Structure 1
């Protein structure tokens, strides 16, 4: 896949940019440039990097492109990529008319948090544990200064890449990093989303400290976690497992 402009490069003096470049290379070798994704990378290399003419980011289904905009050959490759990237957790999306019916209805969560967001216009925004970037695609409608989607999972990286290459949202990128790495962005982000992640962390309090480190003074964090009903005091690390989720 071809190189794109790094939207974080202009901020090299404000973040730990040298350390970030080294960590990108390491995580790329571990999660991105690995044999299981060779076939998918080959498919992506045949796709044009064009901006779709019809893009709708302010509806429940993030819609990128109309069927009439690309050839049948491109549609066939997109279909193969979508299938190769199953499961799709966050969504829903429509890519050149091909609806991606995600496992989660992320639009419902977005509609709950949107009224409480600070105005993202010209702000620097992060989604930590952002999966394939659904919330930032929705956020793009407000014209933030930049948006960074953090998730160390290779599948989510390639899902993001498939959608992003056609979206025309040039001020957004995916970093294959986790919450343990966001200290590289000390006092940098105006708005941080940290939702549905903390109960997967082995050190939840440490994770919160990391998030606090990357948030600018006076910034906003949107935080979501599981809650246990009842009046009994419970800790952040109760014994056992909840919902068959790892570390939860």
Structure 2
């Protein structure tokens, strides 16, 4: 529980205090029975070199989330840092740079943020939730945009460890405003307390997408904004595809609506001001294998003779961004 004490304390005087009725017990269960590799990953964190920044401008929460300057670490310390963080592979969302050492993640998550940012309400002073936050890259971008507190939820224990590794080097003033709990949205109560809720790259993994959208709605305060990014298919208001066993080599893809059909779902659930603000085909430059993610990536999931199709014969992934209000 020590990993979460500061964030739990932050909840007490926050608009989300009702979360404390269920969250501590869930976190105790998590710490009592962690994933088999989690204790190993936590040992990696303890071995990270003690490095510190000198000034606030040694941190940049821009496209590459950067902490420290190269001259603030020796070559030996950088090599140690790289070797330890390599033990936390695969790194999927980023990029990051720590004291001159670059983490070139599978996804260029900065490109997604560039597509999302023009369409969101001001985050200045807001309470923001990212559902399925991965390593927490976008949490830091939300802080850059002025959020008062950013809250990430994701059951991935490796993602939690990656987030902790980056947070270790953040200045205290920033670190105390960034929070990550290893829970799924289905474990969260209906809080109706967040100004903005992000869900990026999650909907198509849910067996019950309408239930998921309803859960997202229950986390927003009245008038709050949902920012939803997901894989869609081409088509009209009635078009929904359920792929076979795999889609782009992913086993856990369930429903792929068109953007127009998704807007209808959201309207039926009571969302208002629904807009499809972006349509984008994922490129081989945005998602690719790197030294920090050496497994299969998008190039392996597409037809080698026609990158407009997946290896299973479906249309290649198209991603849409929708915004809406409660």
TM-score by length of 1: 0.88
Equivalent residue number for residue 145 of structure 1: 148
* Mean CA deviation greater in 136-145 or 123-132: 136-145
* Mean CA deviation greater in 65-74 or 157-166: 65-74
Equivalent residue number for residue 52 of structure 1: 53
- Once residues 214 and 13 of structure 1 are traced to their aligned partners in structure 2, the CA distance between those partners, rounded to angstroms, is 9
Q: Do the aligned residues in 2 keep the contact of 1:147 with 1:172 (CA within 8 Å)? A: yes
Deviation of the 1:85 alpha carbon:
1.0
- Once residues 185 and 70 of structure 1 are traced to their aligned partners in structure 2, the CA distance between those partners, rounded to angstroms, is 45
Q: Do the aligned residues in 2 keep the contact of 1:50 with 1:165 (CA within 8 Å)? A: no
Equivalent residue number for residue 203 of structure 2: 198
Q: Do the aligned residues in 2 keep the contact of 1:49 with 1:165 (CA within 8 Å)? A: no
Q: Evaluate the alpha carbon distance shift between residue 51 and residue 207 of structure 1 in structure 2; reply closer, same or farther with a 3 A threshold.
A: farther
Which runs of no fewer than 5 residues in structure 2 stay unpaired?
254-326
Deviation of the 1:109 alpha carbon:
0.6
Tell me the SS of whatever aligns to 1:225. strand
Deviation of the 1:81 alpha carbon:
2.5
RMSD (Å) for aligned C-alpha atoms: 2.3
Q: Evaluate the alpha carbon distance shift between residue 191 and residue 13 of structure 1 in structure 2; reply closer, same or farther with a 3 A threshold.
A: closer
Q: Do residues 41 (structure 1) and 36 (structure 2) align? A: no
TM-score by length of 2: 0.68
Equivalent residue number for residue 222 of structure 1: 227
Equivalent residue number for residue 188 of structure 1: 193
Deviation of the 1:117 alpha carbon:
1.2
Q: Evaluate the alpha carbon distance shift between residue 73 and residue 45 of structure 1 in structure 2; reply closer, same or farther with a 3 A threshold.
A: farther
Q: Do residues 128 (structure 1) and 134 (structure 2) align? A: no
Equivalent residue number for residue 21 of structure 2: 18
Deviation of the 1:96 alpha carbon:
1.2
Q: Do the aligned residues in 2 keep the contact of 1:47 with 1:74 (CA within 8 Å)? A: no
- Once residues 87 and 117 of structure 1 are traced to their aligned partners in structure 2, the CA distance between those partners, rounded to angstroms, is 29
Which runs of no fewer than 5 residues in structure 1 stay unpaired?
none
- Once residues 36 and 69 of structure 2 are traced to their aligned partners in structure 1, the CA distance between those partners, rounded to angstroms, is 32
User: Which residue of 166, 169, 178 maps to 1:172?
Assistant: 178
Equivalent residue number for residue 69 of structure 2: 66
- Looking at secondary structure, tell me which structure has more helix per residue: 1
Deviation of the 1:207 alpha carbon:
0.7
Task: Tell me the matched-pair count.
Answer: 243
Residues 188-247 of structure 1: per-residue CA shift (max 9 Å, x gap): 110111111010011111111111111111000101121112348333x61413212232
Tell me the SS of whatever aligns to 1:16. helix
- Once residues 162 and 100 of structure 1 are traced to their aligned partners in structure 2, the CA distance between those partners, rounded to angstroms, is 12
* Mean CA deviation greater in 225-234 or 120-129: 225-234
- Once residues 243 and 20 of structure 2 are traced to their aligned partners in structure 1, the CA distance between those partners, rounded to angstroms, is 39
